[in-house]
Amino acid sequence: MMLPIYMDYHATTPVDPRVVEAMMPFFSERFGNPASRQHQFGWIAEEAVESARTMIAQLIGAETKDIIFTSGATESNNLAIKGIVEAWKQKGNHIVTVQTEHKSVLDTCKKLEKSGVLVTYLPVDEYGMIDLNQLQDVITPKTIIVSIMTANNEIGTIQEIEQIGKICREKDVFFHTDATQAIGKIPLSVKSSQIDLISFTGHKIYGPKGVGALYVRSSSPRVRLSPQMEGGGHEHGMRSGTLNVPGVVGLAKALEVSVQSMEDESNRLLSLRDRMFDRLTRELDEVFLNGHPARRLSHNLNVSFLHVEDNALMMSMKDIALSTGSACSTANPEPSHVLKALRLRTERLHSAIRFGLGRFTTAEEVDYVLDRVIENVKKLREHSPTYRKVREQSIFHSL
């Protein structure tokens, strides 16, 4: 076992060696621009891009022409939401989303509100789940898109995507889901879930950074988008710019490997995650799980250690990479907006740690992390007046 230990797989993942191998030729030998249609270098690059597009489409049950390559999930989310709002403004000006969405969705919606778009931010219950009846109630004739992430990046809660898709189809509104954390981790089918747009990225599934995709349904119903980047008319006119060919190839390979190993990897990570939580709750008191106990990603464990400040705990274990929330908003010292939306009491908000397990996490690493966490929680609690008070009350009541 080598230090430091990485347990922040929600933030990013190392590139799988199989993905690197698939990408390498397109940095030097096959370096052509896929938009260069007059010679072999361009043809070879274009063939690689279209092969990747076909593979990705097949893995999510889509048509090849439905896949648009982007720089990542943030761009995909922006393109999906802004593109729908602009293209369908004659139909309506209302968006429905959720308080626990990624900032690339929430900030996009806030920006659109400034231009007169109406946005409903659905609340969640204590586990991070939306109320499907409430979703039905807030959709109006002016609603044009519902944007709800498949699985949350902080607490791992998985929404009831198929039911949401059914509601949106019945109400005749587009359904967009940010599947960044879910794709390659749980089964996803755009047809069975009646999804109209899906955003995802490469670096969460052991692929390269700086490349992602947006699925845009081309029929039954056809989804029309207004492009957000002009110039050249690439990607069926929806997203101009020279494609990152090595990245596109890597994205497709990463998704292929993830889907092929999904069941085995999910079972292995679930076993490691449960091993972690069982020992933490056995050897420490005042430990609380954040997120849904059952409908959650197998590699996610978000736990609050009461009477311990989250940053203090992380600083006491500099040889372990953990997180207190989203890697996309770490500059904000405020508690996670996701945990706030669960309406947790203040002590839980400030003592939450996210453990993100992954493909290269070993049982040995898990045991080392457990030893360090338990040791440091106990040490930090020795200096906590609130914890001493709780212990004294507990001893008193046990007499």
State the catalytic residues.
328
Q: Tell me the CA distances in angstroms from 3 to 6, 99, 316, 358, 369, one per residue in order.
A: 9, 37, 15, 16, 11
**Rounded distance, CA 158 to CA 177, Å?**
12
**Rounded distance, CA 366 to CA 361, Å?**
7
- The values of phi and psi at residue 149, to 5°, are -70, 150
Tokens (6 digits) for 115 = 């231009």
DSSP-derived secondary structure letter, 25: G
Q: What stretches of the chain adopt beta strand conformation (E)? A: 5-6, 67-70, 94-98, 118-122, 143-147, 174-178, 197-201, 212-216, 287-289, 300-305, 320-321, 352-356
Q: Is 331 helix (H, G, I), strand (E, B) or coil?
A: coil
